[in-house]
Every structure is written in structure tokens, then in C-alpha cells.
Structure 1
């Protein structure tokens, strides 16, 4: 069984319903994982996606904030969710394919503006969220699993436009990178994107604040595809669809793709 999977922080699935439909029509991934849907589950435009060949959806939502959804051409069953750090946010959902592969869709907290939990509660929540992810992976030892999502951390020096200038900027600080690495190591997760594209700058997010994001190219790789070691070697074809960031009224994130032959 071969399937292509994509992850995309859509920044409002209802506002950008047309962009989701365009991606599904033009690229046709078997599975699309969305983050920051900003919608109750019952208001996600499922009919539009079903008409395009995606009749299956597993989602967790809330009004105006957060929210994660898995759209699928393939039959998929709900495999639950976890409320890491007891935030009460819709930030995780899992689905299981008929071949036994579990897909975890995450939206890790952004962490606010100040990288100091003493003055910024949101930064502390982000670190606590990552710590609980680490502990859960250590206890569960996931197998035959794929983890995708907006993890809101660019871990490598070449995952950001300027390592030196962003060392004290939330998303690339050493403490965040350390916490993300600990969570990755606890589950034995393989960074599929970087296994496929090991060298050079690679970004999936460009700020709305830049008047010409493409020319300035001050990007960060915040969106990730990981796999457990037992299936990581089946992954290939990783790519970031940078051009999607240039669509009309876009999300500030670009979709990230990978294909698995299992």
C-alpha cells in the first residue's frame, strides 16, 4: 500500500476552504492533515471535501482557535486524542488506516513572544506540552506511526533564515530545540523531511509581516513529518509546496508532503 500524506497549517479552514479544495484538486494527496482549523468540528466544510474524493474526516475543534483535522481518501478510524499539558485545546488527533499505520496530527503551542516562562505563560505552556509529548512517547513507544503537524519549532540551523539572529526568538531558541529533540528521541521518531532533503535551507513558514515574503525569504521550517523507525525507510518524495504560500489570501504556512510505500 502506497499513500501520500500532506500537513498544512491552514489558519482557518472555513476562511480558506477554497485553498484546501484547490490543494486537494491539484495535488491529490491521499491524506491531508490540517492544523489551526479555528472551527467547531460540525462547521468544517466536509461536503466540499467529500465531493473532491475525501469522504473521511477525523477532527477535534473549537470556536475561533486551534483545531486539527485529518481528511482522507482512504478509510480511517478515529484513534483518539491527548490533551497535553491539560490546556483544554484541540491540538492533537490520531487516526488509524486499515494497514495499521497510525497518523498523529499535532499543533504545538506557538509560545508567545518572550522566550521566558517567568514572564510569558504561553512559553511555559509550550515547554510543558513538549515535555508531556516526550513522556507519552517514552511510555507508549509508538510503532508503525507517522507524526505530522505544525510543531512551531525550527530545530536545525538551516531551518531558519538566520540562526544567529533567531537564537533568542521563539521557535528557534535552544531550550525549545532541546525540548523538541527530547520528544523526538523518546519515540525514536525519524525526521522524514530531512532524511529526504538532508542539506540546505528549508522553510515552510513565512511571516505575513513581510511585504514581499518570497524575495525576503525570511522563512522557518515549523511544519514536520516524522515516522517511527519501523516504517521510516518506506518514506520518500518529501517536498514543501512553497508556491502555495503565494496563493491569494494564503495561510502563512506552506504544505509539506511525503509518500510512504508500505
Structure 2
């Protein structure tokens, strides 16, 4: 069977509910993982998603910032939330696909939203950057203890780890999201736990891949100064099932878009 899992930092699920419903209608992924929903749990638009065929939804939210959610066509057996750096921020949620998912049953889905880190890449001067580095360090410790078995980790990890994950490696080395402090941490934690970076498995460097374009650019498409901040990783036992990773760049041109676009992973199980 084919399993499709999309990750998308939506930058307010209520503000962009029409965009999410449009994407679900046009693309029909089996699972959609959202980040930065910016929505408390009691205001999450559950009815709209269930009306679109996604009956199985788990979410963890906060008013005005952060927030993660998993929408699935298949039953979700569990809901688990981890807190990092002793903060109750809604930056992680996980669930397990139920037996009705067929060959996909038992796969653990992790949805992460890593802190952005502010603008100044200095731990001493910028508490937000310090928090981001601490979060990545804690994620590394968790990643090394990842339970054995099939798993998928997706989300806005807010790091463009490789040279060709940004429009200019040289110019962005001292820009938050591509500094060596962040890229080395992300690649180390991924490698130590054995996670497979599916986008680069199928599209090795030096080909450029972007999933985010700044709102600050007056013409994002013409400038094309993007970064690959959104990721889809799989456990080693799923590496041979990876068939496609699609970046829906066209969604960046929709009305009132997120600055991130959907990234869809396709597995053949």
C-alpha cells in the first residue's frame, strides 16, 4: 500500500483554514501534520477537518503561538506529548497508526516544531537562540533513545542543515537557521539515532531544495531566496519504502499564504 504523510507549518490554522481544506481536497494525503497552529485546544477547527474526511485528529495547542496537530484518514491509537527544556510549549505530538491502516499499522508518527531562535545567533545575547540550541540538544538525547520499530518524524525543524538547503551557504552562515551551531546539532542528532532524511535520500546535493520563503521579500518567487526548514525523516527500517518527497511550492502563491509550504512523503509499504 502507499502511505502519504504531509508536513506543513501553517502559521495559524484558523487564519488559514481555507488553505488547509483546499490542500486536503486537492492532494488527499493519508496524514497531515501541522505546526504553528497558534490555536488553543478548545478552539481547534476539529469539525471542519472531520467534515473533510479526516476523522482522526490529535492536537496540542496554545493561544497565539506554537501548536502541533496530526490529522489522519486512519485511526490513531495513542496520543503523546513531550515537553522540552522544562517548558509546557506545544512543540511535539505523536500518535500510532491503528490496524485499519493495513501495512502501515504500528508506524509511530512524530510531529515537531523546533523553536525559530530569533535573529541574533549568539547564545549570550539572544535567549531565544539559547533556547533553540538547548531544545536541539535535548532532542538529540531523546533521539538516541528512540524506540525500535517503524517511525516517521516530520515537522518544521527550523534548521536548513546542508549547504544546498539555502539560497546562499556563504551568506547565511551567520544567519539563524543555517549557523554551524544549529546545522551540526541537527545532523548529529539525526545521524546518531539513525533517522533517514528522505528528501536528500531521493534528491542528493548539490540540487537545491527549499520549503520556506520569507514574508520580507517583496517578490519571493523572483528572488527565490528559500531555505529547507521542513523535514520528513524515517527510521532505517522504512528507508527502502521511500518513493517520493514532494514540495508543494505552488501553495506559497495562494492568497494569504503561510511562509512554509507542504512537504509530502510517499512510502510504498
**TM-score class, shorter:** over 0.9
Q: What's 1:115 paired with?
A: 121
Q: Compute the RMSD of aligned alpha carbons.
A: 1.0
| Distance apart, 1:141 and its partner CA | 4.5
Q: What's 2:245 paired with?
A: 238
Q: Which runs of 4+ in 1 moved over 3 A?
A: none
| Distance apart, 1:77 and its partner CA | 2.2
Q: What's 1:63 paired with?
A: 63
Q: What's 1:26 paired with?
A: 26
- Aligned counterparts of 1:241 and 1:77: Cα–Cα separation in 2: 29
Alignment of 1:87-102 (within 5 A): 87-98=87-98, 99-102=105-108
Q: What's 1:182 paired with?
A: 188
Alignment of 1:103-252 (within 5 A): 103-199=109-205, 200-252=207-259
- TM normalised by structure 2 equals 0.95
Report Cα offsets for 1:105-159 as digits up to 9, x if no partner: 0000000111111011111111111111111121234431000000000011110
Report Cα offsets for 1:225-254 as digits up to 9, x if no partner: 000101121111111000000000000001
Contact 1:204 1:255 in 2 (8 A): yes
Q: What's 1:256 paired with?
A: 263
Report Cα offsets for 1:37-61 as digits up to 9, x if no partner: 0001221111111111001111110
Count of residue pairs brought into register by the alignment: 262
- Aligned counterparts of 1:79 and 1:233: Cα–Cα separation in 2: 27
- Aligned counterparts of 1:142 and 1:18: Cα–Cα separation in 2: 38
3-state SS, counterpart of residue 106 of structure 1: strand
3-state SS, counterpart of residue 233 of structure 1: helix
- Aligned counterparts of 1:142 and 1:244: Cα–Cα separation in 2: 35
- TM normalised by structure 1 equals 0.98
Structure 1 residue runs of 5 or longer lacking an equivalent are none
| Distance apart, 1:78 and its partner CA | 2.5
